[in-house]
Amino acid sequence: MTKKEALKDLEEHVITSISSKERQHININVAKRVVSELCKTQEVLATSKSTTCKWKENEYDVYDTQCQKSFQITDDGDIKEHKFKYCVYCGGEIKVVR
Ligand SMILES: [Zn+2]
């Protein structure tokens, strides 16, 4: 089953599970959009878990993370000395790049 077919199945399931009485109060297109947005969110969550996050140390001793954040270690150590393994922002495995 392709992703598109799965989505259509899910949409149908959601729509048929809505009783005709409820249908008077909701817009089916809105319901379809909600399902589609939920699927996208699920997808993002599923992919973000397995990815790595590249951390690059800049000239100010601040790490710029791949997920567009910054992290500064305020003592002398670096990421490896602190045994950081996962990005505190996105949860990806930290990969220090130079
Ligand atoms: Zn990150």
pLDDT digits (tens, 9 = 90+) for 36-79: 888 888 777 776 556 899 999 999 889 999 999 999 888 777 77
Q: What pLDDT, in 10s, does the model give residues 18-34?
A: 777 787 787 878 888 88
Give residue 93 CA to ligand 1 midpoint distance, Å: 8
Q: What pLDDT, in 10s, does the model give residues 86-98?
A: 999 999 999 999 8
Report how far residue 22's alpha carbon sits from residue 77's, in angstroms, rounded to the nearest whole number. 60
> Ligand 1 is a single-atom ion; what residues have CB below 5 A from it?
53, 65, 67, 87, 89-90, 92
10 Å Cβ neighbour count for 39? 15
Q: What are the structural domain ranges in the chain?
A: 3-49, 51-97
Give residue 43 CA to ligand 1 midpoint distance, Å: 17
Report how far residue 14's alpha carbon sits from residue 84's, in angstroms, rounded to the nearest whole number. 42
Confidence of residue 7 (pLDDT cuts 50, 70, 90): confident
CA dihedral sign, ordered 89, 94, 69, 46: negative
Give residue 18 CA to ligand 1 midpoint distance, Å: 39
pLDDT of 47 reads: 65
Residue 45's alpha-carbon distances to 17, 79, 90, in angstroms, are: 26, 25, 10
